[in-house]
Chain A
Amino acid sequence: MRKSIAMRWALAIAGTAALTGATSTARAQSFDSPQRVDTTVSLERGGTVSISVWSGHVNVTGGSGSNVRIRGTVERDAMEVRARSSNVTISMESEYRHGGRADLEISVPEGTSVVIEGYSAPYVIQGVKASVKAETLSGTIRVSDAGGKVSVGSVSGDIKVTDVDGDVRAESVSGTITMSGIDGDIEGESVSGGVSINRAKSRSVRAETVSGEIAYRGTFDPSGTYTFKSHSGRLLLGMPADAGASVTMQTFSGNVDSDFPVTLESGRQRLGHESRMEFKVGNGRSRVVVETFSGDIKIQRSTTSDNRE
């Protein structure tokens, strides 16, 4: 996370420092009325596009070609584009109290990593097939068809990540997090928003909330670990009957409803509501941990078709 800010500061400081390759700068300056922008700069394969906006929306789309094209309107602030051979930065230089608005459609070559920081702008990032890092305060974040590491965070914006071939980490305070079709490690945390994970093929899943609901439908890899924790949120797990999992569940005061027969941990006496409950499905190879304080736990027997595409 520190790297993005470092990048920004590097921009500000290294404004005149010449890095390898040509540096070109474009400015769109406007003060009162929105101004159109249409800028194209070239970018190497595997490069990075970094975007920093305040409000408005940003759509980034990966495609063929080797250029970054930025189209849209910019209001109230200066937008600056700095292009180096391996990275392009697009930033709003905020001279105004409330920052400026930029509505941008950006197309990038496939394989370009994307980094976005914003305040209230919603982002949509699709088809870049490379790593994505996006943070916002209240904007929503939609990422689809990425590859490599996806790391997204918001305070109140909802987050939706689909079809990623890589690890995903998503955090929010009140936003809901929905992840679908992830083939990699998954981490999802929200305080009051829910975390919903579907069609996951992962060997490491961790989902935590305080009051948000957690739902998981995915595979249980024999060497995998799956951890689901909430304080008062409901936990809902879809467990295929052909899975192999050792599941331990513990809750202080939540109800437990399981389609699979559950045994109290052997040898322990039941201390109020606190006993650990266990059950095994199939060969019991993967490890599943489910914990709540007061949230209800529901383990459903799902057919495998629920968990695959």
Chain B
Amino acid sequence: MIDKHLTCTECDELFPDYFEGELDEARRRMIETHASTCARCQGVIRDIASIQQTAANLPELAPSRDLWQGIEARIQPTVVAIGERRDGHGLSRRMLGLAAAALVVISSSLTYVVARPPASGKKPAPVAEKPRSSPTTVATNATEPGATPTTPTAEQVDPAAARPSALETGARVPSVRNATRSARTSLVSASQLSRAELALAPEIAELQRTLNQKRAELDPSTVKIVEDNLALIDAAVRQARAALLRDPASGFLTEQLDNALQKKVELLRTVALLPSRS
């Protein structure tokens, strides 16, 4: 029904769409016609338009203090006990003695690698900060006396998530136009590895050594299953890495690669802690 003269109530119903500019021409004019003789609705239109206008031009507020300290404290990488996993992962440790030995070996080599300066080769991406000098231990969950490795200068590392500043050199190639084509060669050099790969590489290497030792101790069918599945995961890592090299800006692909690496670590850890036959 086309009512040439709107009531205030009818205007109220149409106002939401009116102020959003979503009313058709005809209805818009009806409202404006009504408002031309109605002080109340005219007031609403004027005031709301004013609010819209003011809201769109509000100045920025500023915090009462510098908030950076609080932020910085929370983005430091955290320590993760190497034997510890994300809640619930992996099978329990049956051979506690072997497990403890494996964990100690892993953790000492991990801190060693973190402390060592980056391998020569590619020029590292510019890094503005030095590694922190706080003392670190990568804790194990088996507290054996004399088995706690300490490195005074290495940054604490959470292989799963955080960004070790000592490994910032050789971090992922920045995703901007500045990245040179030569960096994206098919060889996987240090500068092309993602942050997660760098963080996890030492532990993966160590766990793989443990796997090699364990091979003789596990029954053949278990060994086969482990190797088949490792090969599967390695293929996934390769695929994700290859895709990421072609599109380094992709957060999605970075996640895919990180997921695959995480699965590899978890599988290797599981194997390291399997009971042996003997």
Point out residues on A near B: beta carbons under 8 Å.
Answer: 1-2, 4-5, 8-9, 97-98, 117, 119, 135, 137-138, 151, 153, 155-156, 169, 171, 173-174, 187, 191-192, 208, 210-211, 229, 231-232, 250, 252, 271-272, 274, 276, 291, 293-294
Contacts and interface: CB of A to CB of B under 8 A. Distances in A.
A155 B93 contact: no
Interface residues of B, number: 36
Given A119-B275, A192-B229, A232-B236, A2 B93 contact: yes
Contact of B256 (A9, A171, A211, A252): A252
A116 to B, nearest CB: 11
Contact of B240 (A135, A187, A271, A293): A293
Contact of A5 (B93, B260, B278): B93
B221 A135 contact: no
11 contacts: A2-B93, A97-B277, A97-B278, A119-B275, A137-B275, A138-B222, A210-B260, A231-B240, A274-B253, A276-B252, A293-B243
A151 B88 contact: yes
B67 interface: no
B73 interface: no
A143 B225 CA distance: 24
Contact of B92 (A117, A208, A276): A117
Interface in B20-62: none
A192 B222 CA distance: 14
B274 A191 contact: no
A155 B247 CA distance: 35
A271 B93 CA distance: 45
B228 A192 contact: yes
Given A137-B274, A137-B275, 14 more contacts: A135-B91, A151-B88, A153-B91, A155-B225, A171-B90, A173-B226, A173-B270, A191-B263, A211-B236, A231-B240, A231-B260, A232-B236, A293-B239, A293-B260
B228 A174 contact: yes
B92 A294 contact: no
A171 B89 contact: yes
Contacts of B233: 191, 210
B92 A274 contact: no
B259 interface: yes
B267 interface: yes
Contacts of B247: 271-272, 274
A138 B223 CA distance: 12
B88 A210 contact: no
Contact of A169 (B88, B96, B225): B88
A294 B93 CA distance: 34
Nearest to A135: B91
Given A117-B92, A210-B232, A294 B239 contact: yes
B94 interface: yes
B278 to A, nearest CB: 6
Contacts of B263: 191, 210
The 4 closest A-B pairs by CB, nearest first: A231-B236, A1-B92, A191-B229, A4-B92
